[in-house]
Amino acid sequence: MDPDEYFNRTRMVIVAGKGGVGKTVLSAALARLAARTGRTALLVEVDGRNAVASLFDVAEIAYEETVIAPATDHTAAVRARSITPDTALVEWLDDHGMKLISKRLQRTGAIDVIATATPGIKDLLVLGKIKQLVVESDADVVIVDAPAAGHAMTFLRAPAMLAEMARSGPIHTQAHAVLEMLHDPRQCEVMLVTLPEETPVNELIDTAFQLEDDVGIQLAPVVVNGMYPVIDGLDTDLSNVDLSSVKSNLGAAKIAELRAAGDFRHKRSELQTSQRDRLADMLPLEQLALPYIFDADIGLEQIDELADALARAIEALDV
Amino acid sequence: MSSASFDELIASKSIVVLAGTGGVGKTTTSAVVALHAARAGRKVALVTIDPAKRLADALGLDELSNEPSRIDLTPDDQTTDKAKTTGELWALMLDTKSTFDALIHRYSADPAQADRILSNDFYSNISNALSGTQEYMAMEKLYELAEDGDYDLVIVDTPPSRNALAFLDSPNMLARLLDHWLYKALMTPTRKLLKASNLLLKQLSKVVGGDVVEDIVAFFQAFEGMEDGFKERSQRVMELLASDACAFVLVASARRDTTIEAAYLARQLADNDLDVAAVVMNRLQPDFVRLKRRPRAPEFEPFLQAHDELHALADREETHIESLLSQVASDPVVVRVPLLATDVHDLDGMAELQAKMFQT
């Protein structure tokens, strides 16, 4: 599949996964890739962590849409904004003719009582705000860096829960509007990301089935992040190699250490492959593999490297 | 860097709280510290939050329970020294709601008051969904086990969230809900307050529905008289955490993003006058020898590439560790734990980690 085709099929990609597996990095790489296809991408952060900012080397991600990577001759711009639950709740009350109570609720602290009394209301309103963006923003693709896996489930389940709880009124209306968006694969899909390790893979599998069963949202191919690039020849049995010339300048102990480093790398790599295979066995979704980057911390240059890898992986999909 | 060893630190404490973000191996680290102390002869209680399934299986925690159950430490091979330990390891999986329920039972004036609260929908939302409740209840469990006096050491794994330390605010968490204007209005209804609160309640009903508002009012009314007990207990929990008996251990991996989060947790502790006693740097690249001269045989090329990559990574890890440590003012014990060639999810793997962590 061409990346261009991929971004044609849906307007919004929600990136979700366990903490520490590279959600934000993947979101950034997806945004850059979309920009390369000529689409203006809007990156939405919902946990107020400001993690996107350091990747793009900007001071912070504001509530208002701002450009974090300007358009060039070859690419469209990447924009970003941060939507936090508190701002979403206050803005929603304001927008629904409740400006006076929203002020008073904030002042008295009763806004916490509302949020506690109706669990999920903040999640619903963040999603509602995102829906509004999808409708109103002139960005071509919206990428949402979702909360960590456990919370991603509560986040995406909130609309269905509140649609059932509130039988009428503004929350009911909002919940149904968001559900309609979540159920429409042309409007959004979820891209799950994991590391090729036991616990994150298990968590991804659980999350995938729950999302399908409980939320009914379209699932994109899953991303396996941090795959060690294969080094050919690490399984060479060095005992069969004539080492006499090497030994004279290195010594047997150093050679043994070198082999240990190679073996370690080889074992971790095999472990990764076996986890990837296990994921394929247990979850009937295509996989996009992204390489581990050994030589540098993740910055814009590495994001672009990952966007390259993502493009190749998407092209290799046989859909 | 502190000169004391991790072993000495753990041996001198009766409470150890492990904090760190998700994905850094905090739960496994907690289990390994607990195993180590038990094998050293102490009676240890381990409070886990949400262990990965295979770790839970390895610990024999297959049955979810909010009360400690004893873990069998006898190795399959009975001839080893480890079989001789007199220590005990007890573990539990935190159940937030039952811990909260027990607290309600403890502080209610009579069973009828407890029932009114426990059957209230707003209460179930607080005990299930209010952010910070899980963290709060982890500390409540810690306090309960420490007060029991049954254990030499209580180890608590905190939830893997950015709010892992939300319990530091726990004396204020319920207070935040209970103290505000609406609550006062409902509890001591002067005519003026009542009029204003009725107006607010009416408007609230428009947003969340009348049933929900009735639940809120009923909850606050049922809670009357209990808040002092709650506040006092929270205060005692905080005193316990600040005492010499308690150590905070920060668990992190050596990546830029995870060390930033770890530094954030360290700052939160410092803001509450709590020290980081130890920093466990987890899953570091193992330290293979650095070659100055390179073998020229072609068969060695891939091995050299692996060697170079691992060292480039190790060097970057070192800068992240230094950056984190420069932000922890309390002179912590620093523990370096290398990444193993295999994943850890059984007692053997934990024994291997234990050897690395405590240099045994």
Residue B171 pLDDT > 70, yes or no? no
Predicted confidence at residue A227, as pLDDT, reads 96
Residue B262's DSSP bridge partners are: none
> Nearest CA to CA, how far is B16 from chain A (Å)?
24
Helices (H), A184-231: 198-210
Alpha-carbon gap, residue B319 to A269, rounded angstroms? 25
State the pLDDT confidence band at B176, using cuts at 50, 70 and 90: low
> Nearest CA to CA, how far is A313 from chain B (Å)?
23
Predicted confidence at residue A313, as pLDDT, reads 97
Predicted confidence at residue A279, as pLDDT, reads 98
Predicted confidence at residue B347, as pLDDT, reads 82
Q: What is the mean pLDDT of residues A144-171?
A: 83
> Nearest CA to CA, how far is B347 from chain A (Å)?
16
Alpha-carbon gap, residue A287 to A126, rounded angstroms? 29
Residues in chain B closer than 8 A to A197 (CB atoms): 343
Look at A243-252, B26-35, B217-226 and tell me which has the smallest mean pLDDT: A243-252
Q: Within the 31-60 window of chain B, which residues sit less than 8 Å (CB to CB) from chain A?
A: 50, 52-54
Residue B133, both tokens: 């409740």
Alpha-carbon gap, residue B240 to B243, rounded angstroms? 5
Contact by Cβ (8 Å): A282, A5 = no
Q: Which residue has the higher pLDDT, A161 or A68?
A: A68
Residue A110 pLDDT > 70, yes or no? no
Partner-chain contact B341 A264, CB within 8 Å: yes
Residue A151, both tokens: 């919370």
**ipTM of the predicted assembly exceeds 0.95:** no
Q: Where are the beta strands (DSSP E) in chain A?
A: 12-17, 41-45, 66-69, 78-82, 141-148, 188-194, 222-227, 287-291
Look at residue A255 and tell me if it is in a domain.
no
Contact by Cβ (8 Å): A27, A42 = no
Q: What is the pLDDT of residues A176-219, one digit of tens each?
A: 999 999 999 999 999 999 999 988 999 899 999 999 998 999 99
Residue A3 pLDDT > 90, yes or no? yes
Residues in chain A closer than 8 A to B158 (CB atoms): none
Residue A76 pLDDT > 90, yes or no? yes
Residue A12's DSSP bridge partners are: A142, A188
Domain boundaries in chain B?
Answer: 6-166+234-358, 175-222
- B293 CB near a chain A CB, below 8 Å? yes
Q: Which range of residues forms the domain containing residue A64? A: 3-232+275-314
Residue B75 pLDDT > 90, yes or no? no
Q: pLDDT averaged over chain A?
A: 89
Q: What is the mean pLDDT of residues B43-60?
A: 81
Residues in chain B closer than 8 A to A113 (CB atoms): 177, 180, 182, 216
Nearest to A268 among B128, B257, B341 (CB): B341
Predicted confidence at residue A281, as pLDDT, reads 97
Look at residue A77 and tell me if it is in a domain.
yes
Residues in chain A closer than 8 A to B312 (CB atoms): 294-295
Residue B266 pLDDT > 70, yes or no? yes
Q: Which residue has the higher pLDDT, B287 or A42?
A: A42
Predicted confidence at residue B77, as pLDDT, reads 52
Predicted confidence at residue A124, as pLDDT, reads 92
Predicted confidence at residue A89, as pLDDT, reads 85
The domain spanning residue A200 has which CATH number?
3.40.50.300
B-chain residue closest to A238, CA distance: B299
Predicted confidence at residue B65, as pLDDT, reads 82
Contact by Cβ (8 Å): A16, A149 = yes
Partner-chain contact B303 A258, CB within 8 Å: yes
Partner-chain contact A117 B125, CB within 8 Å: yes
State the pLDDT confidence band at A248, using cuts at 50, 70 and 90: low
Please give the interface size between A and B, counted as residue pairs whose CB atoms are below 8 Å apart: 182
Residue B135, both tokens: 């963290």
Residue B157's DSSP bridge partners are: B18
Neighbours of A28 (CB within 10 A): 31
Q: Within the 259-278 window of chain B, which residues sit less than 8 Å (CB to CB) from chain A?
A: none
Residue B23 pLDDT > 60, yes or no? yes
Look at residue A243 and tell me if it is in a domain.
no
Q: What is the mean pLDDT of residues A81-109?
A: 81
Residue B236 pLDDT > 70, yes or no? yes
Q: What is the pLDDT of residues A277-293, one digit of tens each?
A: 999 999 999 999 999 98
Residue A298, both tokens: 């993740």
Alpha-carbon gap, residue A219 to A183, rounded angstroms? 11
Look at residue A191 and tell me if it is in a domain.
yes
State the pLDDT confidence band at A121, using cuts at 50, 70 and 90: confident
**In this structure, are strands B88-93 and A222-227 parallel, antiparallel, or unpaired?**
unpaired
> Nearest CA to CA, how far is B325 from chain A (Å)?
19
Partner-chain contact A294 B312, CB within 8 Å: yes
Q: What is the mean pLDDT of residues B229-251?
A: 91
Alpha-carbon gap, residue A54 to A60, rounded angstroms? 8
Encode B4-35 in three state secondary structure.
CCHHHHHHCCCEEEEECCCCCCHHHHHHHHHH
Nearest to B306 among A119, A171, A262 (CB): A262
Alpha-carbon gap, residue A315 to A309, rounded angstroms? 10
Predicted confidence at residue B209, as pLDDT, reads 76
A-chain residue closest to B294, CA distance: A250
> Nearest CA to CA, how far is B145 from chain A (Å)?
27
Residue A308 pLDDT > 60, yes or no? yes
3-state class (DSSP) for residue A120:
coil
Q: What is the mean pLDDT of residues A17-24?
A: 88
Cα angle for residues A207, A210, A211 (degrees, 5° grid) = 85
Predicted confidence at residue B345, as pLDDT, reads 77
Q: What is the pLDDT of residues B92-109, one digit of tens each?
A: 989 989 999 999 999 999
Nearest to B316 among A18, A198, A297 (CB): A297
CA–CA distances in Å: residue A134 to residues A40, A177, B28, B166:
12, 12, 41, 34
Interface probe for B, chosen from A47, A116, A165 (most Cβ of B below 10 Å), is A116
Look at B218-222, B269-273, B279-283, B323-327 and tell me which has the smallest mean pLDDT: B218-222
Look at residue A265 and tell me if it is in a domain.
no
Residue B333 pLDDT > 80, yes or no? yes
Q: What is the pLDDT of residues B200-215, one digit of tens each?
A: 777 777 777 778 788 8
Residues in chain B closer than 8 A to A171 (CB atoms): 207-209
Residue A208, both tokens: 């995938």
Look at residue A223 and tell me if it is in a domain.
yes
Q: What is the mean pLDDT of residues B15-38?
A: 91
3-state class (DSSP) for residue B56:
helix
A-chain residue closest to B306, CA distance: A262
State the pLDDT confidence band at B62, using cuts at 50, 70 and 90: low
Number of domains in chain A: 1
Question: Which residues have C-beta within 8 Å of that of residue B80, sequence separation ≥ 6?
Answer: none
Fold for domain B6-166+234-358?
Rossmann fold (3.40.50)
For residue A44, the number of C-alpha atoms closer than 13 Å in the C-beta half-sphere is 25
Burial of B116 per CB tally in 10 Å (0-12, 13-18, 19+)? middle
